[in-house]
Structure 1
Amino acid sequence: MNTSRARGVRCRRGLPDSVTSAVAPFGLALALVLGPAALALPAGPSASATPSTSPSDDSSTTASPDADEPAVTLTLTDMTPAVAQLGDTMVLTGTITNTTDADFVDPTLQIRVQQAVPGTAVAMERWFDASTGPRGRTVPGLTGPYPVTVPAGGSAPFSFSIPVDGEIGFPIRYDNWGPRGLEVALSQGGTTVTARTMGVFHPGETGEGETGEAVPEVDLQVGVLLPLTPTAQEWTDALAQGRAVSDLAGERVRDLVEATGPAVSWALDPALLGAPLGLSGGATAGSDPTAAPTDPTTPPTDTPDPAPDTGEDPTDPADPDDPDAPADPADPTDPATLTGDLVAAAGDRDILALPFADADVPALAGTGETGRDLLTAARESANELFAAVGLQVSTTTAWPAAPGVSQDALRLATGAGYSAVVLDGVEDPDDAEGASTSTSASASPSARTDVTSGAASVPALVSDPRLSEAVSGEAPPGATTSSETLASRQYALALSAVLARDVTADRTVLVTADRTAVGAIGTPDGGKAAALGSRVTSLLEAPWVTPTGLDEAFASTPSAGQRTTLPVTGDVTSAAFARGADLVVDGLTETMEIGSALERPEVLDGVDDVLRTALSGAWRLDDSSPAAATDAAEAVLQPYRDAVTVSVPASLVDLFAEEGAVNLTLTNTLDQRVTVDVRITPDQPALRVDDVDPVTIDPGASTSVRVPMVAVANGLTRVDVDVLSPDGAALGPVKSFDLRVRAEWETVGTGIVAAGLGVLLVIGLIRTFRRGRRGSDGNVPAPTPTEETP
């Protein structure tokens, strides 16, 4: 095993000329005991320090002392190398702060070392409580005056070098390597200030035991899973600005990828691979959704002369051979985009495919069948995005966002298509209530296990809770005299060493970086990606650690009989999330129905993505509402809900016949062709309306629609006009008009005419009858005046 990688930076510093005479006696004594390279006192500052008003590099070291705090404090900020091996020189650096009214001058320095290697994490953590924890033994060869002057109300840097050899106060052998507490004490007059940290010591490749045997290799396989997901704030900003969330999270994600190196696995939210959120899909006719708004206060400028014709299309993408040409934003694999950077950095690492927007599995578990449908859709959307950019990912492993993971959440995940799960470890039930996803602090269980949900059993990887918290940046309890950056890094190394010493066979340990802590990287309170990178790389480069990926961890053999039982329910579904989930379901249904009327329904795909962001676990982890997503989607859909306007008769319409028609005018306000159904609904049964054929309207155009009607009875009725998509979505407000049915007028008129004709027919018949009767009596009727007499 290659252990040289963990040696870190060798820092051997000499004495400055300004303090040589002051420390000569002390240095001579140490040289006699420890050798010529035993001690290097501060190489940077002079013995007489001036007040420092600049802030420390670590925000945790700049707190103002309370009344109960010591007036002089020492805060350790760094230790190099992180793992000390035989022959190294360990350098401790920090800051001395003096809040008293007197100078703190030339204190006596002592180095104290914990005598026994702690065998458990709990025993190791006791060291950081200086009042009740174990006391360290003073190393005689590392005791003497420390030349420094810290003025009243000021501060001064601290630096001290410790040679790592047999005289450090304990031997470094195969049987006693590991973490040991280190304490630095500075005393002057009646004032003593101390600072504690944790060193990790290893004999190195050539280390041998007391009898000369080689140090046995301990193979602790450690996998680190890094979440690359947008935060709630990044989602909020992206939604407000209508931009791709990768634009807002890009810098943070790039820093994380660079700092943590190629050995970590990723849990990647595919939303970071997507295009800008679809917040401009509702463009109306004649508008350009991509055009920037014009400032009315800006005076118009002269139109420039047209450019000469060069034979090139100015809309063509940038020249790929020109390194200075702008990237083509339509190409997601372009190295200038975040997607391109992620694809390039992916290499052969294992990547876990999170559902779109890192959908909140525990919260969705509280929404029943709706949750399963939504998670299934989010998983399928993720798979499509990963396939589009060519990333090889694991699509069947879920990593629900803790806390709140339960059997209900596991059933939901398996129902949505997942067949394995990664779980964030929690405390043993003997130590804390909740799920049993870890063993005791004195054991080193394998990460590979099986998690039970009712009668079902699912392959799982369970992270080590303490080690995961340390890598995420959490310092051990009581570590107040070291910066969080130093304390958490050394804590992580020390924990891994305790785990490695505890194993009797190869073990796999999983570290899951906390989503919230990783999301805070780059914020004033979240530290820097470099600090996380230091913790990760120091851990994975430790001599006793072999980095491993998720696939190898899943392929390992679980501990015999090891099973992990989750609580039945997580109870993390808030009322706001449940309401948001219902709105997402309604919105997804509406976009599908509206799309059936559009010539280009794909413009609504981005709206679906906006809706699905409401399901992100980031909202719960940030204790915020997903309303920002649902409200944004509502705003985008509104132009489609008003896509077609209807002009109806403004006055009362009379229908005098049993059949008739009313003309309506439909206007398309969108910038694309629509095909709609017109539905006429009378509120009285006196009227029956025949179906109208689907109507196609060009962008910004109007068309007249003839609606046939059949009178059933006389009366006054209100008629409602709905314009719907073929799948039933409303594309405009309901319009109404009044219609009076007088179908009997036609019948009465026909009767009157018929009666008149009947009367005329009767009169004609009577006259004919009378003429015929006179002829039969022999009387010849008198001739009319026009007739001639024979």
Structure 2
Amino acid sequence: MSRVGRSFAAFATLLLPLGSLGAIVEESHATVVHTVISDDDGEASPTQSPAPTPTGPQATEPEATITSVGESTMDQGEDLHVDVSVSNPSSEPLDINSLSLSGHFSPIMSRTELVRFMEGGGGALSPLFTDTSAQSIAPGGQRTLSMTVPAEQLQWSGSFDSWGPRGLQVEVLLGDGTWLADRSIAVVAPAPELMPMPAAVAMPVTHTAEELLEPSLSEDIASISTEPDGPASTPTPTATPTDSEESDAAESSRASTSVSEMSTPGVSLFVDPALAHGDDSLATSLSDFEGTADTEVFLTPIYDADTTALTHAGAEEMIQQAYSSSEALAEELEMSADTDVAFVSGKTDQNTMNALDEAGVEGVLLSDQTIPQTGFSYATASARTSIQAGDVQMPGLAVDSLVSSALAGQIGEGEESAELSALDSQQMVLGLSALTYRERPNDPRAMVLAIDRAGLTEFGGDPAAPSPSSSLTDEDISGTIEALMEASWVDPHTVSDLLALEPSVAEREALPEKEANPGEITEAQIDQLSQAQKNIGWYANVSEDPSLIADPTQATVQKAFATCLRGQNSVRQELIGSLENLSSQFSDSLNVQPSSTINVISEATELPLHVRNDLPLSAGVVIQINSHDNRLVPKQDVAVSLPAEGTSDVAVPVEARGSGNVQVEVRILDPAGNVIGPSQTVQIRVRADWENVGTLVIAVGLAGIFSFGIVRSLRRGRQHAPVDPKEFSQDQRATRRAAWRHGK
């Protein structure tokens, strides 16, 4: 039994006399009432079906749930078929003493009355039958009781004034005196041929918050190959399969499954093209979807950017960039979809409309709660309207929030809301649409329904579920849409078809100049993203392929703008943190290694430096020496290519003058002249005059040696001055005379 049905239990006890009266009335008119016990496949059987495996919290009390009301709509003169499932989760047998069914004799006349009935409110119900045969359900089992009420007893007319929804209520009296009850809706189709009202369903196909975190930025950067032949793969702007998922790559993704389920006339998709990047299954599903009549595909700004939040943060240029990125990616993927219609979630304002107009948007969808009708009106206005924002007037469609919530399996608002079963969701959507038509049968106004983005609850979606609703599957919602579009009073249209209609004359409240939604990205967060992206961009620009770093960085920034993160600020902060961490990591990735004091003894020489590159790609940088001492003057900056994750030796030419100890600053620049690495101080011992002194000493030494050799040579080879012959003869005679004397 649904949550709504359980709320009827207490109310049903008040109807016991009415149920008894129903039995008397039925017996007196000899009405034929068929009650059979069937198994799951619907065949009559005396056996009992085991209780289904629960998908949520396991029930501890018996429940009665209407599981079928026959066809989604009944033709006039058709029998009513109702199935009710009674479960027994206890460990004791469960006795059923009676089963009764009651319903509205006349159709429900307003949307408010229908909602009140499903919420457990009053309404005059007529007994349709009562079965008092005793039955029993084994412990842990369940039984499906199938009931048929003949058309002649119902007397439900499909005339112009009588077709539409009628409430049903099933009551089960147990052996211990407990009453179980559940409600649903039967919809009688109109007998006369009507001019159908145009209707469309808008369905966003976007990321969940969890999907935005996969893969992480660090994983993208770490995946960059450093093979000599170049990168093995280029990071994509969306999630890629992990190693454990590669074997399942051929299986359909969540997004492609949703698209396949929604291939129904009247559905318009608003697809984030980043989901389709690398997802062949989604591309195939979209191709098949476009082959369905009365369907179309629009593109959201990349990663479904929150245009309202960006407007409030003064980042209108980022809206245009998001749309441009979406269009570029769609062209790359060969997607034949446009970005000229925006599906705005939550509150919006005139400033946002102006920003969308500047971005090239020509039509907009927004909730009817954002632009409600002014004053009192007994009829729901056409969805087609015009949005006035200053000098901008934009064609618009107001989403019917009440019927959209029923489509998502919700009824009521806030703490009073309750979940609807798949059957009740379908019948509520059909009933509400029928009543919308009947409000002004001569004026078949356009209706637009919408399914929530993952993570938002504007129309009843569950933020914790990857699908639009926690209680309903895509298949359930698709079945409801199909039943609606096949109803005789509905004509499937696309969003573009409805925007082409003439706007309604019904007045709606003007948009405020500015109105924010809870959880919007803030201006401070945008500044954090921009600064981190700028810092990382410096390092991307010096790498051999800047896109390998810049693309995943840009994707992470754009993910942080996603509309689904309004209620997931922790995920947004994680994305911001990943960018800041990478920026911090890169800030130390290029650096000059510390060295001991370098001796310079020549006027013209080169300083030997060791430069480290920890980036995953080779980097083209400029090494610059900054000296504030004229004794060492850099001659020129040196451009060099540093291999990835390695250290390189770089020689920088300098000119030395004089002698002394000098301290210089070595900086790493990108080609544009921006400093992208930490500066390193290097100690230099300049002794440029040593070279001159040494040369002089050597020259003096050589000159001395040369002079010494000459002197020595002269000394060894000295010649006397010329001798006068007369003096020589006299000397000779004197010498001989002395010798004679001596001998004597």
TM over 0.5: yes
| Alignment partners' CA distance in 2, 1:482 and 1:674 | 58
SS in 1 for 2:154: coil
Deviation, 1:654, is: 6.0
Distance 1:90 1:474 in 2: 26
Secondary structure of residue in 2 paired with 1:107: strand
Q: CA deviation at 1:226?
A: 1.0
1:498 maps to a residue whose letter is L
SS in 1 for 2:497: helix
- Work out the CA distance in 2 between the residues paired with 1:409 and 1:686: 62
1:581 pairs, out of 502, 517, 526, with 526
Residue 179 of structure 1: aligned partner = 165
1:233 to 210, 218, 221: 210
1:265 Cα offset (Å): 0.9
Q: Deviations over 1:476-533 (max 9, x none)?
A: 5799998532222221111111111123323211111011338725699454221121
Relative contact order, higher structure (CA 8 A, sep 6+): 1
Paired with 1:93 and 1:747, the residues of 2 have a C-alpha distance of 108
8 Å CA contact 1:106–1:188 kept in 2: the answer is yes
Give the match for residue 8 of structure 1.
Answer: none
Determine the C-alpha separation between the residues in 2 that align with 1:712 and 1:220: 92
For 2:182, give the aligned amino acid: A
Match of 1:252 among 240, 244, 254: 254
Residue 397, structure 1, aligned to residue 341, structure 2? yes
Q: Match of 2:448, as an amino acid? A: L
Partner residue, 1:512: 450
Q: Distance in 2 between matches of 1:267 and 1:686?
A: 68
After TM superposition, the structure 1 = structure 2 runs for residues 777-788 of structure 1, keeping only pairs within 5 Å, are none
Q: 1:379 aligns with which of 315, 323, 338?
A: 323
Give the letter aligned to residue 606 of structure 1: P
179, 185, 200: which is aligned to 1:198?
185
Q: 2:274 aligned with 1:344, yes or no?
A: no
RMSD after superposition: 4.2
DSSP-derived class of the 2:169 partner: strand
Aligned mate of 1:96, from 81, 86, 104 = 86
- Structure 1 pair 599/129, CA: closer, same or farther in 2 (3 Å)? closer
Q: Which residue of 2 aligns with 1:133?
A: 122
Q: CA deviation at 1:125?
A: 1.4
Match of 2:481 in 1: 536
Q: How far off its partner does 1:270 sit?
A: 0.9
How far the C-alpha of 1:90 sits from its partner, in A, is: 3.7
Give 2:353's match in structure 1, choosing from 410, 426, 450: 410
Please name the residue that 1:495 is paired with.
Answer: 432
Residues 624, 438 of structure 1: alpha-carbon distance in 2 compared, 3 angstrom cutoff: farther
Aligned to 1:443, which of 369, 379, 387?
A: 379
Q: How many residues align?
A: 640
Matched, 1:109 2:99: yes
**Match of residue 553 from structure 2:** 607
Q: 1 CA distance for matches of 2:24 and 2:475?
A: 36
Which of 294, 309, 316 is 1:363 aligned to? 309
Given that 2:157 and 2:188 are in contact with CA atoms closer than 8 Å, whether structure 1 keeps it comes out as: no
Change in Cα spacing, 1:525 to 1:728, as seen in structure 2 (3 Å) is: farther
Taking a change above 3 Å as real, the CA distance of residues 416 and 724 of structure 1, as seen in their structure-2 partners, is farther
Out of 264, 268, 273, the residue aligned to residue 276 of structure 2 is 273
> Aligned partners of 1:479 and 1:145: how far apart in 2?
35
- Within 5 Å, give how 1:656-667 maps onto structure 2: 661-666=606-611
Q: 2:11 — aligned with what?
A: none
Q: What is the aligned partner in structure 1 of residue 730 from structure 2?
A: none
CA distance in 1 between partners of 2:27 and 2:416 (Å): 30
Q: CA deviation at 1:28?
A: 14
Of 485, 496, 500 in structure 2, the residue corresponding to residue 555 of structure 1 is: 500
For 2:239, the aligned partner's letter is: V
> Contact between 1:230 and 1:245, CA under 8 Å: does it hold in 2?
no
Question: Of the candidates 469, 472, 491, which is equivalent to residue 408 of structure 2?
Answer: 472
- Is contact 1:235-1:245 (8 Å) kept? yes
Q: Contact (CA 8 Å) 2:264, 2:481: kept in 1 or not?
A: no
Could you say if the C-alpha distance between residues 536 and 697 of structure 1 is closer, same or farther in structure 2, counting changes exceeding 3 Å? same
Contact 1:47 1:149 in 2 (8 A): no
Alignment correspondent of 2:14? none
Give how far 1:463 is off.
Answer: 0.5
Deviation at 1:421, TM superposition (A): 1.7
Deviations 1:713-743 (A, max 9, x none): 9986643322232245655443221346788
Residues 111 and 138, structure 1, Cα contact 8 Å, conserved in 2: yes
Q: Secondary structure at the match of 1:537?
A: helix
| Structure 1 spans left out of the alignment, 5+ residues | 1-25, 66-71, 208-214, 276-331, 427-433, 757-784
Distance 1:686 1:786, change over 3 A: same
8 A contact 1:96–1:158 mirrored in 2: yes
Equivalent residue number for residue 734 of structure 2: none
Q: Note closer, same or farther for the CA distance 1:418–1:483 as it changes in structure 2 (3 Å cut).
A: closer
Work out whether residues 48 and 149 of structure 1, in 8 Å CA contact, stay in contact via their aligned partners in 2: no
Residues 532/683 of structure 1: CA separation in 2 closer, same or farther (3 Å cut): farther
Q: CA deviation at 1:232?
A: 0.4
Contact 2:156 2:188 in 1 (8 A): no
TM-score, length basis structure 2? 0.74
Contact 1:128 1:196 in 2 (8 A): yes
Bigger shift: residues 667-676 or 448-457 = 667-676
- 1:199 alignment partner, SS class: strand
CA drift of 1:646 comes to: 2.8
- Closer, same or farther in 2 for the Cα pair 1:339/1:686, shift >3 Å? farther
Counterpart Cα distance in 2 of 1:712 and 1:574: 64
Residue matched to 2:539: 594
Residue aligning to 2:53:
55
Bigger Cα Rg: 2
CA distance in 2 between counterparts of 1:483 and 1:640 reads: 52
Evaluate the alpha carbon distance shift between residue 715 and residue 502 of structure 1 in structure 2; reply closer, same or farther with a 3 A threshold: farther
CA contact (8 A) 1:664 1:704 kept: yes
Counterpart AA for 1:419: E
Shift in alpha-carbon separation, 1:225–1:146, aligned structure 2, 3 A: farther
CA–CA distance in 2 between the matches of 1:574 and 1:742?
66
Question: Any idea what SS the aligned residue of 1:238 has?
Answer: coil
Once the 2 structures are TM-superposed, how far is the Cα of residue 594 of structure 1 from its aligned partner? 3.2
Instruction: Tell me, yes or no, if the aligned pair for 1:93 and 1:157 is still in contact at 8 Å.
Output: no
Distance in 2 of aligned mates of 1:650 and 1:594:
28
Q: Which residue of 2 aligns with 1:161?
A: 147
Partner SS state of residue 624, structure 1: helix
Q: Is the 1:92–1:161 Cα contact (8 Å) retained in structure 2?
A: yes
Query: Shift of residue 87 of structure 1?
Result: 4.7
Tell me which of 396, 421, 433 is aligned to 1:484: 421
Alpha-carbon distance in 1 for matches of 2:588, 2:171: 75
Q: Establish whether residue 425 from structure 1 lines up as the match of residue 368 from structure 2.
A: yes
User: Which residue does 1:145 correspond to in 2?
Assistant: 132
Letter aligned with residue 327 of structure 2? N
Q: Is residue 2:67 matched to residue 1:77?
A: yes
Kindly tell me: are residues 260 and 476 of structure 1, through their superposed partners in 2, closer, same or farther at Cα, counting changes over 3 Å? farther
- 661-670 or 390-399, which deviates more: 661-670
Q: Deviations over 1:309-366 (max 9, x none)?
A: xxxxxxxxxxxxxxxxxxxxxxx7xxx5332332333326311110111112222223
Structure 1 distance, partners of 2:156, 2:374, is 33
- The CA distance in 2 between the partners of 1:78 and 1:493, in whole Å, is 15
Q: Secondary structure at the match of 2:264?
A: coil
Cα distance change on mapping 1:572 and 1:455 into 2, 3 Å: same
Contact 1:473/1:484 (<8 A) preserved: yes
Identify the residue that residue 42 of structure 1 maps to in structure 2.
Answer: 37
Residues 258/344 of structure 1: CA separation in 2 closer, same or farther (3 Å cut): closer
Compared with structure 1, are the counterparts of its residues 451 and 563 closer, same or farther at alpha carbon in structure 2 (3 Å cutoff)?
A: farther
Distance 1:481 1:186 in 2: 22
Give ranges in structure 2 of 5+ residues lacking alignment. 1-22, 221-235, 246-250, 455-460, 701-718, 725-744
Shifted more, 510-519 versus 529-538: the winner is 510-519
Contact 1:467-1:495 at 8 Å conserved across structures: yes
